Amino acid sequence: MRVIAGLSLRMATGLRDIVFPPGCAHCHVRTELHGALCPACWSKLRFIERPFCEILGTPFGYDPGAGMLSAEAIANPPVFDRLRSVAVHEGIARDLVHNLKYRDRTDLAPMMAEWMVRAGGEALSACDCIVPVPLHRSRLFGRMFNQSAELARHAARLSGKAFEPLALVRRKRTSQQVGLTANARELNVRGAFVVPESRASAVFGRRIVLIDDVYTTGATVSSATRALKKAGATDVTVLTFARAFSGPI
């Protein structure tokens, strides 16, 4: 039976590749595999690699040694324990995020999540569960899916970690963060999240990886982290696909 099942799978895959030939997830040029970028697009992604700040994940222009923190992390420590991101939010990385979020390209989520698992590294290996930043139910109804939950679901599958999509609820319908100042973003999401009593055991005493698509000012994930820590989470790592920077890096 296993041989027959394997043969059927290969035949189905071959038929799919004939009907829908593999193409670059960004520019659609022919590629060898589905869910991948062509060499030209891959070379244009600005991955965030070490050396970087151990807390904020901000890249350093030189290697200051292990465990070093950025001036921002020292002067204004975040409420979460650490931030990790795959790439700088520009060019192709920005397009991938927008295509997933606004153009219903949920087929991009497995590829993006695979890179996020790599970026999550030790923090993801050490966590107890993965929690997505939730949408308010009215916005979820309009969009029909939560891009952060899609990324988190695939990251959980790839890493073998528990997926807790209901551990955090957005109880306040907030305005779109795009176009708001940093202070306005913080006010907009203040008190927006809560851990339901029914899911308290999924959070209390646990190390959590909180997943979102983009980190901009940190207002949204900071508000979400406060709710998780109020419910007893011992450690929160924020993991995003892209990271926006206000200046050159």
Residue 173 is part of a domain; what is its CATH number?
A: 3.40.50.2020
Q: Are residues 193 and 218 in the same domain?
A: yes
Q: Are residues 1 and 115 in the same domain?
A: no
pTM of the model: 0.88
Secondary structure element (H or E) that encloses residue 66, with its range: none
Among 29, 44, 59, the domain-final residue is 44
Q: Which tokens hold the place of 81? A: 């324990």
Q: Are residues 125 and 21 in the same domain?
A: no
pLDDT score at 202? 96
pLDDT score at 11? 47
Instruction: Please give the average per-residue pLDDT across 43-58, as a whole number.
Output: 96
Least confident range from 16-25, 36-45, 238-247: namely 16-25
Q: Are residues 119 and 6 in the same domain?
A: no
pLDDT score at 21? 87
Least confident range from 5-9, 18-22, 89-93: namely 5-9
Instruction: Please give the average per-residue pLDDT across 35-41, as a whole number.
Output: 95
Q: Are residues 113 and 39 in the same domain?
A: no
Query: How many structural domains is the chain composed of?
Result: 2
Look up the domain containing 90 and give its range. 46-243
* 231 falls within a domain: yes
CA distance readout (Å), 102 to 90, 105, 139, 169, 213 = 16, 8, 12, 22, 12
pLDDT at 233 over 60: yes
Q: Are residues 170 and 238 in the same domain?
A: yes
pLDDT at 186 over 70: no
* 35 falls within a domain: yes
Q: Are residues 65 and 39 in the same domain?
A: no
Choice between 191 and 50, residue whose per-residue pLDDT is larger? 50
pLDDT in tens, 115-135: 999 999 999 999 999 999 999
CA–CA distance, 14 with 107 (Å, rounded to integer):
18
* 38 falls within a domain: yes
Q: Are residues 111 and 29 in the same domain?
A: no
Q: Are residues 145 and 91 in the same domain?
A: yes
pLDDT score at 12? 45
Average pLDDT, rounded, for the chain: 89
Q: Are residues 84 and 162 in the same domain?
A: yes
* 249 falls within a domain: no
Secondary structure element (H or E) that encloses residue 215, with its range: strand 207-215
Task: Name 131's bridge partners.
Answer: 210
Q: Are residues 57 and 90 in the same domain?
A: yes
Residue-wise DSSP of 72-140 = HHHHS--SSSEEEEEEESSHHHHHHHHHHHHS--GGGHHHHHHHHHHHHHHHHHH-SEEEEPPPPHHHH
Q: Which tokens hold the place of 83? A: 């931030």
pLDDT at 13 over 50: no
* 248 falls within a domain: no
CA–CA distance, 107 with 28 (Å, rounded to integer):
13
In this prediction, what percent of the chain has a pLDDT beyond 90?
73
Q: Are residues 226 and 118 in the same domain?
A: yes
